[in-house]
Amino acid sequence: MAAFEGFEGGFAIGTSIVVALAFADLSQHVLLTTAVISIIVNGFNNASVKYSSEHYLDELDGRVTKNPYKLYFVPSLVEFLSYFAISFISILPLIFITDLRLAVVWSIIVTLLILFVAGWWRAYMLHMPRWHDAIETLILGGGIILVGFLSGLVLHSL
């Protein structure tokens, strides 16, 4: 589940950052560098939250384990790595497409498609309603991208 949390969050947030920064009239190189740094920072933040929340819940329940590495660190590392890998995929259009607007559009399309597939796959693995979860994941990711878009509009108006 840590991998799915990293996949879903990473894709939408990585694309949201790209969309927001695209309004800043940055060069494509600076935009790409800023996006990579933001993805690393957000991925580390997500992994830290995963570690802390799992550890603190076990402390509160009195179920602290003698193997924190396996139960807290490994899932956090998996979440970070999946977050980074998926977020990096969301910025690949910036590497391969020179037209910035077209690269951003492709980033959004790829992100939404993969979010849909990830939601469907997760639901399949958990024996849940597949289409419902796929559409829900798509909409939630789209909302995160929309926040990036609106943030970019605000940034551009300053």
**141 with 111: CB under 8 angstroms?**
yes
Enter the tokens of residue 77.
Answer: 């590392």
Which residues, at least 6 apart from 99, have a Cβ–Cβ distance to it below 8 Å? Answer: none
Helix (H) or strand (E) holding 112, with range, is helix 100-126
pLDDT of residue 109: 92
pLDDT of residue 42: 80
pLDDT of residue 9: 59
**142 with 125: CB under 8 angstroms?**
no
Extract the residue ranges of the chain whose pLDDT is less than 70. 1-11, 59-69
pLDDT of residue 8: 60
pLDDT of residue 21: 81
pLDDT of residue 4: 56
Q: What's the chain's length in residues?
A: 158
pLDDT of residue 152: 87
pTM: 0.72
pLDDT of residue 41: 83
pLDDT of residue 29: 84
